[in-house]
Structure 1
Amino acid sequence: MSVLDAVGNTPLIRLTRVTAGIDAAVHLKAEFLNPGGSVKDRAALSMVDAAEATGELRPGGVIVEGTSGNTGIGLAMIAAQRGYRALVVVPDKSSGEKLAALRAYGAEVIVTTGGVTREDPRHVSQIAARLAAETPGGWLAGQYDNPANPGAHYATTGPEIWRQTGGRVTHFVAGVGTGGTISGAGAYLRETGAVTVVGADPENSVYGGGDGSPYYVESIGHYVHPDTTEDVWPQSYDPKVADRIERVGDRESIEMTRRLAREEGILVGASTGTAVVAALRVARELGPDGLVVVLAPDSGRAYLSKYFDDGWLRRTGFPAPAVPGPLIGDGPVRPAVLAPITGRAGDLPAGPGVALLLLPRTQRAGTGPAPGDVAGSVPLGGAAAADTPLAALAEPAPPTAGVHEPVADALARTPADARWLAVLTDGRITGVIARADYFR
C-alpha cells in the first residue's frame, strides 16, 4: 500500500450548528482529508494513471501543470511517489502555504502574473504549455480539458456519496472551478437517482452570470480579463449537469469559512464556504426528508495567511474583529473618480482629487472596481490639454487600504510618497483617501 491508496473514500460529516433552524440534513464531503489535502488528489491520480496507460507519461518523465495550487500539490505528491519530476506554474494570487507545500513535495515552482488574458504569454496556461513542449519527457496534465478529471469523480466521488447516504441523497452541491468535480460526480448522481445538482459560484464569476471581474475566493469560479479576446470555458465542465447555480459573494463565503472553523471545528478553504452558503440556501427549501451533500474541496491550512488572518481581512476591506481606531473608514473618504485609461484629459472633472484609470472594457459590480481593474491614476486639476490621452498622464495605481484597517497601520505599510490610497470595502474600491489629510 502506498500513499496513493489513501486517495478517496473520504467521510461525510454532518453539519450541526451552522444548520440551526433547517429541517433537512446537510453533510459535508470531507475532501480535505485526502493525503494531498484536497479533492484535486482524485483528478491528479486519474490523469496520471490515464497518461501512463496511453504512454504519454513515461518512466523518468516530467509532469507539468498550470494550477492555482491544489492540483499541482496532488501531482507533486504523485510525482514524488512514482519517481517523476514535477514542474508547476501558479499565479501570484495563490496562497503562500500552497507554494510552500508544492516545494515541500519537491516540485519546481514557477510563479507568474495573475489577472492577465489567456492569450498573454505570462498566463499560467501559456507558460505550462510551453514548458511541457520544451522539456524532454514533459507531459502537460491539462486539468481544464482532460476528460480524466471529471472521469475521476464519475468513477469515485459520485459512487461514494451514493453509497455513504444509502441512496438517500436528494441534492448535491459543489463549487465550479475546472468543473471536473461537479460534472463527474453530478452526472453519476443524476443518472443513479433523482438527485438535484447545484453549482456554487463566486458572485462575479461568469459561470453563474457574473461580470467576470476579480474575486477573492481561490480555486473556484471563472475570471475573465477585460481584454480577453475569447472567453474559453474548460472542457472538463459540462454546464448541463447543474440544475441551478447559486451565486455567493466574497464576504458571505469568507464569513462562512470562519464560522465552520469556530462553530463546527472544520478548518476548510473559502471555496468550501461558498459551497456551504449555497447548500444552506438549498436546505432551507427542503423538509426533513431532504439530504444535502456539499463537497468541501480543501483544507483551511492552505489559507491561514488569508481568510483566517484578521490583518488580511482588514487590509482587503472585509469585516474583522474590532480593533482600536481611528480606522480608514472613520476618516475623510472621498468618492472614487473612475475613468477609462483610453480617455482624454478633458473627460476628467476639475480637481482636487485623483482619477483611477480602468482597463479597457472593464465591467464593474455596483460596489466598485477591484484593484486589478485599475491600470493607473491621474491627479485632477492638471494643466494638460483637453485632448491629451490619459494613458500619457498615467501615474502608478495608488496602494490600497481596507475600510476597517487602522489608519496608522495603513499609512505605515504603504509608500510614504503615495499621495492617495484607494479604499477597499469587501475587496472592491469604494473611495480614496489623501495622505495629506492625515498629516497636516
Structure 2
Amino acid sequence: MIKTCLSELIGDTPLLKLCVTENGSCVLLKLEQFNPTGTAKIRMARQMLDEAQASGQLKPGGRIVESTSGNTGLGLALLAAERGYSFTAVVDEHASPDKLRAMQAFGAQLVRVGDPGGGLATADRDATAERIASEQGAYWTRQHHNPANANGYTALAAELRAALGDEIHYLVGAVGTGGSLCGTARALKRHARGLQVIGVEPCGSVIFGGPGAPYHQSGTGTPEGAEIGAVVDYALIDKGLTVSDAQAFETARYLARHYGLLLGGSAGGVVYQALREARHAPAHSVIVALVCDGGEKYLDTVFNDQWMADRQLLAPQVHRELEQWLSAAPQARQQAVAGG
C-alpha cells in the first residue's frame, strides 16, 4: 500500500521471539524501533498533536514546545515538519547528541538548560518549557501530564491482541512518562484479565520509591527533585523493578553481539528484567517486552567500549547471566534469530 506521508508508517511494528524457556514460557520483543524516528514515542507525539488540534489548543501554523530527553522531541519535530508547525525542544546535557542533531535536521529549535557536562535537568527543562509557552503563546504538550500520551498506545495494544489474542500473561516496559506501559496496559487489561504488568526504572529513579541517584539511562525514570507525572498510573502496574545502568547497557550490547539486535540502553534494561521474570513465570507464559527504542542513537555511548569503561559500566557478570538464561533453549535462540 502506498502511503502519502511519513506519519502513516507509524505502528504495525514486529514481534520477535527472543527465546522459549525450559518450561515453555516465551519471551517476545515488541520492536518499536521500526517506527519513524526509531522509537515508540512518535505514537504518543502524534496523539498529543491530534488531540490538541481537535480541541483547538493548537492552531494551524502554531508553535509547539516540549521538555524532552530526545525521543519525544524527535517525534514532535518530525510531525511539526510534516504539519507545518514550529517546534522548540528544551533539552539538557543528558540527551544523545544524535537525537539533538536529528531534531535540528527536522527544523526544531533547541533550547539548552542545565550545566554543560551535567546530567538530567528535568525540573529546569519543564520550567523553561512552561515559560516559553507563556511568553510565546506556544502549545506545551506537557508529556508527563497529558492523557493523550497514554492514549497514543491504544493501537499498540490492539497490535498485540491481533497477534496474540488475549493470551498475554506479562507485559514488561520502561517507566518514564508512563505512557507506553500504562497506555498499553490499560487497553490490554480490558481483555487479558490475568495480565501482570511490570514497570522497569533505572536505579536512582524515584518512581517506585527508591533513593535518588544519578543514572545514564535515557528517556526513562524520574530523577530526584523532578515531579512524577500524572500519566504514571500505579493502579495498572503490578510490580515495579529497578535495573542498573550496567545491567541495561550490557544486555543491549549482548543482544547486538549475539543476536544482531541493536536496542537502546533502557530497552536493554527491559529485556534484562523480562528474561529474569521468565525464569520464575508459570509454564507456558507469554511475556511481552516493550522495546521502545533502537540502538543507533547510542553508538557513541552504550556501544562504545571506552565510554562504558570510563563510567565503570563494563560488567562481564551480566553477560554470564544472559548466557545462562538464554543457553537453556539453543533451538529457540536459532529460531529467534531467524525470525521463526
Matched, 1:94 2:89: no
Give 2:144's aligned amino acid.
Y
Secondary structure of 2:190's aligned partner: helix
Secondary structure of 2:197's aligned partner: strand
Q: 1:237 to 1:142 in 2, by over 3 A?
A: same
Matched, 1:216 2:216: yes
The within-5 A match list for 1:405-424 is none
Instruction: Map Cα deviations across residues 51-89 of structure 1 (whole Å, 9 max, x no partner).
Output: 000111111101111100000000000001111111101
Contact 2:53/2:59 (CA < 8 Å) preserved in 1? yes
Q: Distance in 1 between matches of 2:105 and 2:151?
A: 28
Q: Distance in 2 between matches of 1:21 and 1:67?
A: 41
Q: Distance in 1 between matches of 2:48 and 2:144?
A: 11
Contact 1:314/1:320 (CA < 8 Å) preserved in 2? no
Secondary structure of 1:204's aligned partner: coil
Q: Distance in 2 between matches of 1:285 and 1:117?
A: 36
Secondary structure of 2:256's aligned partner: helix
The RMSD of aligned alpha carbons is 1.6
The within-5 A match list for 1:5-404 is 5-16=8-19, 23-113=24-114, 114-116=119-121, 118=123, 123-136=124-137, 138-153=138-153, 155-193=154-192, 194-225=194-225, 232-319=227-314
Query: How far does residue 115 in structure 1 lie from its aligned partner after superposition?
Result: 4.0
Query: How far does residue 167 in structure 1 lie from its aligned partner after superposition?
Result: 2.1
Q: Distance in 2 between matches of 1:151 and 1:21?
A: 36
Contact 1:73/1:101 (CA < 8 Å) preserved in 2? yes
Secondary structure of 1:207's aligned partner: coil
Contact 1:190/1:196 (CA < 8 Å) preserved in 2? no
Query: How far does residue 202 in structure 1 lie from its aligned partner after superposition?
Result: 1.2
Q: Distance in 2 between matches of 1:117 and 1:29?
A: 28
- Per the alignment, residue 429 of structure 1 pairs with none
Contact 1:190/1:197 (CA < 8 Å) preserved in 2? no
| TM-score, structure 1 normalization | 0.68
Contact 1:310/1:320 (CA < 8 Å) preserved in 2? no
Q: 1:184 to 1:206 in 2, by over 3 A?
A: same
Q: 1:201 to 1:320 in 2, by over 3 A?
A: closer
Instruction: Map Cα deviations across residues 388-422 of structure 1 (whole Å, 9 max, x no partner).
Output: xxxxxxxxxxxxxxxxxxxxxxxxxxxxxxxxxxx
Query: How far does residue 132 in structure 1 lie from its aligned partner after superposition?
Result: 1.5
Q: Distance in 2 between matches of 1:244 and 1:148?
A: 24
Contact 2:251/2:271 (CA < 8 Å) preserved in 1? yes
Contact 1:23/1:286 (CA < 8 Å) preserved in 2? no
Query: How far does residue 159 in structure 1 lie from its aligned partner after superposition?
Result: 1.6
Q: Distance in 2 between matches of 1:293 and 1:158?
A: 11
Q: Distance in 2 between matches of 1:71 and 1:163?
A: 26
Contact 1:172/1:196 (CA < 8 Å) preserved in 2? yes
Give 1:5's aligned amino acid.
E
Query: How far does residue 249 in structure 1 lie from its aligned partner after superposition?
Result: 1.2
Secondary structure of 2:307's aligned partner: helix
Contact 2:246/2:315 (CA < 8 Å) preserved in 1? no
Secondary structure of 1:206's aligned partner: coil
Q: 1:116 to 1:77 in 2, by over 3 A?
A: closer
- Per the alignment, residue 353 of structure 1 pairs with none
Once the two structures are aligned, what percentage of the paired residues are identical?
37
> Which runs of 5 or more structure 1 residues have no equivalent in the other structure?
226-230, 322-440
> Which runs of 5 or more structure 2 residues have no equivalent in the other structure?
317-340
Give 2:103's aligned amino acid.
L
Q: Distance in 2 between matches of 1:224 and 1:87?
A: 25
Q: Distance in 2 between matches of 1:59 and 1:131?
A: 19
Q: Distance in 1 between matches of 2:121 and 2:272?
A: 29
Contact 1:182/1:199 (CA < 8 Å) preserved in 2? yes
Contact 1:88/1:110 (CA < 8 Å) preserved in 2? yes
Query: How far does residue 152 in structure 1 lie from its aligned partner after superposition?
Result: 1.2
Contact 1:200/1:274 (CA < 8 Å) preserved in 2? yes
Query: How far does residue 35 in structure 1 lie from its aligned partner after superposition?
Result: 0.6
Q: 1:284 to 1:320 in 2, by over 3 A?
A: closer
Q: Distance in 1 between matches of 2:122 and 2:18?
A: 39
Q: How many residues align?
A: 308
Give 2:36's aligned amino acid.
P
Instruction: Map Cα deviations across residues 354-395 of structure 1 (whole Å, 9 max, x no partner).
Output: xxxxxxxxxxxxxxxxxxxxxxxxxxxxxxxxxxxxxxxxxx
Structure with greater contact order relative to length (CA < 8 Å, sep ≥ 6):
2
Contact 1:198/1:246 (CA < 8 Å) preserved in 2? yes
Query: How far does residue 208 in structure 1 lie from its aligned partner after superposition?
Result: 2.7
Query: How far does residue 239 in structure 1 lie from its aligned partner after superposition?
Result: 1.1
Instruction: Map Cα deviations across residues 166-197 of structure 1 (whole Å, 9 max, x no partner).
Output: 22211100000000111111111122112111
Q: Distance in 2 between matches of 1:52 and 1:117?
A: 26
Instruction: Map Cα deviations across residues 412-440 of structure 1 (whole Å, 9 max, x no partner).
Output: xxxxxxxxxxxxxxxxxxxxxxxxxxxxx
Q: Distance in 2 between matches of 1:115 and 1:162?
A: 36
